[in-house]
Amino acid sequence: MNVGFIGLGTMGAHIARNAIAGGHALKVHDLRREAAAPHIEAGATWADSVAAVADGVDVVLLSLPGPREFEAVTLGDGGLVHAMRPGQAVFDLTTNSPTVVRRAAAELASKGIQLLDAPVSGGPDGARTAKMAIWVGGDQATYDRFEPVLRSVSDQPRYIGPVGAGSIAKLVHNLSGYILQTALAETFTMGVKAGVEPEALWEAVRQGAVGRRRVFDTMSRQFLPGRFDPPDFALELARKDVALACEVGREFEVPMRLAHLTLQEMTEAMNRGWARRDSRTAMLLQEERAGVEVRIARDAIDAILKGD
């Protein structure tokens, strides 16, 4: 397939090389022509401008730093909206704003061009080895048409919904990871300052219940099916554990902002009379505040887990 590729940075450079290795004819562009040298050596052709990338290709892949660069490439002077023809498509691999993506998709659609948001997850190693996820939002027929291109650069491309859905999934994933990262910084500084050697602490906890599970798989027991009775682990016992950890933090003068926020959430749930319900009742409080219910049927959860 004839593929245009814009953005040969840390991620894009690897993804573009894999597209070439997958047998696709690649036309590449970047702000730095020297970034394209390995790709040209591997058989790609150079395009002097964004508009030139669109000429003669079936699809254009974008791998850009963020929304500002994406808007310039798609909607700016000399952008793709002015250069592409009806029937062509754009897959945006950027971690992007869903609002910006939807606006650009509407403008391109008015010209007969499909834009799908397709952020990737796997880091530089995943981009290099093609062992990474791509989460795609947009027109499903267009996804199906160009899935072979995506499969040449990813072992886990997945269509997940309308335009913007891919960007939302990526932000959910990344924010979850960064919140967890902040929590681990808090808990490990507490543990080490309280007297446990870092190596011994890490070696111990990684074999505990949390360490042995895939983070998102833990949602399948209570959060997603909405099963909080009978409890796997009662809220009153979990709150006791968090309160004890907060006491250690105070004793050793370790700031524990996330721990105290968690304790506050658990206390509110206890005040609702949920002491003997499952400790994951944080989901019930947040659903109430957000005005949305997060639920998946048990048979659908089992099918997803079985498919891994």
Which residues are the active-site residues? 170
Q: Using CA atoms, how far apart are residues 78 and 105, in angstroms rounded to an integer?
A: 17
CA distances from 59 to 82, 237, 267 (A): 15, 55, 53
Angle at 284 between CA 281 and CA 287, to 5 degrees: 150
Q: Which of 286, 252, 292, 293 is nearest to 266 (CA)?
A: 286
CA 178 to chain CA mean position, Å: 11
- What would the two tokens of residue 32 be? 């730095």
Angle at 158 between CA 157 and CA 163, to 5 degrees: 115
Identify each DSSP E strand in the chain by its residue range: 2-6, 25-29, 45-46, 59-62, 89-92, 114-117, 120-121, 133-137, 156-161
Q: Using CA atoms, how far apart are residues 285 and 51, in angstroms rounded to an integer?
A: 50
Going 149 to 150 to 156 to 162, the CA torsion angle's sign is: negative
Provide φ and ψ at 281, rounded to 5°. Answer: -65, -5
How many C-beta neighbours within 10 Å does residue 203 have? 11
Q: Using CA atoms, how far apart are residues 43 and 7, in angstroms rounded to an integer?
A: 17
CA distances from 176 to 124, 169, 172, 251, 274 (A): 19, 11, 6, 29, 25
